[in-house]
Amino acid sequence: MKLEGKVAIVTGSSRGIGYEIAKLYLKEGAKVVVCGSSDVTAQKAVTNLQKELNINDEAILGTGIDLKDNASIKMVITKTIERFGKIDVLVNNAGITSSESILESTDESFQNMFEINFFSCVRLIREVIPYMKKSGGSIINTSSMVGIYASPYQAAYSSSKFAVNGLTKACAKELGQYNIRVNAVAPGVVGTDMVTKNVTEEMKQLLVNSTPLRRMANPSDLAGIYLYLASDESSFTTGAIIQVDGGLVM
C-alpha cells in the first residue's frame, strides 16, 4: 500500500473530487481527516466511506471546518494530532466557483472567493509546517485549468486559482529545505456538483467537444494524481502544477 503509515488532511472531501481522494488514500493505507463545511456533511461522507470500503472508524476522522476562520483551522489541526499524532499530507481541495462579469463583480464577491479558494490554503499551510518540518511532508493544492488559461466571466475564480499556483511555487521554493514538497493539480471539467449546478448543457457539450479525450472527467479520474503526489513515488517532485484535463488546455 502506497500510503501505509501516513496521515492526510483532505479539505472539501465530503463530496466531489475530495471524496474520491479520501477514498483512494484510505484504500492505500492512510489515516484520513475528512473535512466538509460542517460536521454534518463530513460525518455523512465518513459513513459512506465506511460502507463503501467496509472499514471501521480507526483510520478516519470527520470534521467540519470554517476555512475563513483561523480558530476553526487550528481546531482541526489539534483534533488531527490528538487522534493520529502527526500530519504527513495536506490536500487543500475545498473550493467554490462563480460566474459574473468583472463589471458586475464587487469587492465582496472577490473577497469571498479568495477567502475560500486562496486564503484557506495559506492558513492551512502555515499550520501544518511545524508538524511537517519534523519528517517532511506533501502539500497538494487544487488549482484549475482556469488558473492556467483564464476564463471570461470568471475573473474572481480564475484569479484565485492563478494565486494558488503562485502560492504553490513560492512555498515549494521556501519549504524544500525541510523536505516539504508543494504541488498543485489543475483539473479540467469534472462531473461534480460544481459543474452540474453551474455549467449549462450547451457549455458542457462545447467543453467536451474541445477535449481531446472527448468527455468530462469523473471525480475518480483525478484521485490517482493526488495519490502519486502524496506518496514517496513523487519524492523529487515539487513546485509542479499538474494538469489533469483530458488535454483541454495545451
Ligand X SMILES: NC(=O)c1ccc[n+]([C@@H]2O[C@H](COP(=O)([O-])OP(=O)(O)OC[C@H]3O[C@@H](n4cnc5c(N)ncnc54)[C@H](OP(=O)(O)O)[C@@H]3O)[C@@H](O)[C@H]2O)c1
- Nearer residue to ligand X within complex by CB, 4 or 193: 193
Amino acid present at 89: V
**CA 245 to the chain's CA centroid:** 15
Residue at grid coordinates 498543485: 184
**Residue 158 contacts ligand X per CB under 6 A:** no
Whichever of 142 and 238 has its CB closer to ligand X, that residue is: 142
Which of residues 3, 9, 10, 18 is near ligand X by CB under 6 A?
18
Is residue 192 a contact point for ligand X (CB under 6 A)? Answer: yes
| Cβ–Cβ under 8 Å, residues 117 and 141 | no
Question: Which of 2, 15, 83, 169 lies at the binding interface for ligand X (CB under 6 A)?
Answer: 15
106-134: burial string, b at 16+ Cβ within 10 Å, e else: eeeebebbbbbbbbbbebbbebbbebbee
Any contact of residue 211 with ligand X (CB under 6 A)? Answer: no
Question: Is 34 a binder of ligand X (CB under 6 A)?
Answer: no
Q: Which is nearer to ligand X, 194 or 230 (CB)?
A: 194
Crossing angle, helix 219-230 and helix 16-27, to 10 degrees? Answer: 50
Catalytic residue among 157, 178, 226, 228: 157
110 touches 104 (CB < 8 A): no
Nearer Cβ to ligand X (119/178): 119
* 190 is a site residue for ligand X (CB under 6 A): yes
* Residue 144 contacts ligand X per CB under 6 A: yes
CA distances from 197 to 51, 67, 119, 191 (A): 27, 22, 24, 10
Query: Catalytic residues, which ones?
Result: 157
Binding footprint of ligand X on the chain (CB under 6 A): 12-18, 36-38, 41, 65, 67, 93-97, 116, 142, 144, 187, 189-190, 192-195
